A = this chain, B = another copy of it.
Amino acid sequence: MLKINKNFLELEDSYLFSNIAQKVNKFKEDNPDKKVISLGIGDVVLPLSAPVIAGLESGVKDMASIETFKGYGPEQGYAFLREVLQDYYKEFSVDLDVNEIFVSDGAKSDLGNILDIFAQDNVVLIPDPVYPAYVDTNVMGGRKIIYMDSNIDNNFLALPDYNVKADLIYICSPNNPTGAVYNRDQLTKWVEYAKEMNAVILFDAAYESFIGNDEIPHSIYEIPGAKECAIEICSLSKTAGFTGLRCGYTIVPMDLRCEDVQLNKLWLRRQTTKFNGVPYVVQKAAAGVFTKEGRAKCKEVIDIYKNNANILGETLKELGITYIGGENSPYIWLKCPNNMSSWDFFDLLLEKANIVGTPGVGFGKNGEGYFRLSCFALKENVIEAAERLKKLKFN
């Protein structure tokens, strides 16, 4: 008799975004005249830039002609894209072999799939609050999870505790949901800890392109020794608006070994067996991101989102609401005023200002009393949201 993977029954139903949707839909039904502004979900709103579209179009053209048609490509991505990614990392003084770079269909897939290459009996260290997929993928795999507290005492930047023994460590910087960003010294502490524990860091760099400060590493490999203890998972979703186009990349260094086995070799075997690569047209679009014009255009878009974050941040300051993030990150993580709970503040914002955000408690227990605002919105809506916020009376 077939048996299911019983670990699935241990998953908590994820009601966060469906609860939000339900409340928002009810509010809209009850208030059809009100314009609701969403600063909730972390999805981009601005279209693909011209160099990315040009890449797509050239890919489509190739697929239409017998001379240039592309069938199966290399599972790990076309050389033309891996080579521009290799060049991109040189800007952070990180030298990569092209065979260390795997083109993916986005960070979410690889963050889940990478677990295939690790044993079930590893202990996993996950920050709280956190992107829920880190937790759920490990629950599915039946792994023991230890949470590390990110809270106001450590500026939502948990640091290693040598009393805690872990094998796999999740670090997301710039962080989702808090917008907190590790500096070089702090990441060095994590690399030292990982090496001491013979652990591997899964470094989620999906928001690296929001970093505007030279002191903040874009890549974990800017830290000496990281190639021996870290896998980096990145995405073009936020860098270039690829949430609907699906492309990212995962770095598994040749120097990363466990029990004398090269993890790069295991991941290559996993990908060649269970994945058939990213669509050629999407890889052409991704290459467009890294042209000179593409880089400039993508930066323009990121600057629009960062300016949104700045508008929201300044408004919160005026209101005396404390927050972190919004500087090297598209997310603002605010302390709910008057010690309100996350959901009470959600209701208040929706009802009084017709603004949708995300209750911090949805990301873990340390998120209670906090709230995430996303800057992925049109500027005019952010300005209007800011004006509405200013009219609210706190205290």
Interface residues in chain A, defined as those with a beta carbon under 8 Å from any beta carbon in chain B: 1-6, 8-9, 11, 14, 41, 43-48, 50, 53, 56-57, 60, 63-66, 69-73, 105-106, 108-109, 111-113, 116-122, 133, 136-137, 140, 167-168, 197-200, 241, 243-246, 258-259, 261, 263, 266, 269-270, 272-282
Contact = CB atoms under 8 A, between A and B. Distances in A.
Nearest to A133: B273
B72 A47 contact: no
A258 B106 CA distance: 31
A60 B64 contact: no
Q: How many copies, total?
A: 2
Given A122-B3, A140-B116, A274-B112, A269 B11 contact: yes
A42 to B, nearest CB: 9
Nearest to A112: B274
Contacts of A3: 118-119, 121-122, 167, 258-259
A43 B198 CA distance: 42
A199 B2 CA distance: 5
Contacts of A117: 4-5, 8
In the A-B complex, the 4 residue pairs with the closest CB atoms: A112-B274, A3-B119, A1-B198, A43-B71
A45 B69 contact: yes
A60 B60 contact: yes
Contact of A2 (B137, B168, B272): B168
Nearest to A117: B5
20 contacts: A1-B197, A1-B258, A4-B117, A5-B119, A8-B117, A43-B72, A47-B63, A47-B65, A47-B66, A47-B69, A53-B64, A56-B281, A57-B60, A63-B244, A72-B244, A106-B276, A109-B274, A137-B273, A246-B278, A281-B282
A119 B273 contact: no
A276 B109 contact: yes
A334 to B, nearest CB: 24
A185 to B, nearest CB: 24
Given A45-B69, A117-B8, A2 B122 contact: yes
Contacts of A113: 113, 274
A60 B69 contact: no
A53 B45 contact: no
Contact of A69 (B46, B57, B112, B280): B46
A229 B298 CA distance: 48
Contacts of A64: 47-48, 50, 53
Contacts of A273: 112, 133, 136-137, 140
Given A108-B274, A109-B274, A274-B137, A281 B245 contact: yes
A389 B245 CA distance: 45
Contacts of A258: 1-4
A244 B73 CA distance: 6
A55 B119 CA distance: 43
Nearest to A194: B2
A245 B53 contact: no
Contacts of A140: 116, 270, 273
Contacts of A48: 63-64, 69
A231 to B, nearest CB: 11
Given A2-B200, A116-B140, 11 more contacts: A1-B197, A2-B198, A4-B118, A43-B71, A46-B69, A56-B63, A63-B244, A106-B276, A109-B275, A112-B275, A140-B273
A278 B109 CA distance: 11
Contacts of A56: 60, 63, 281
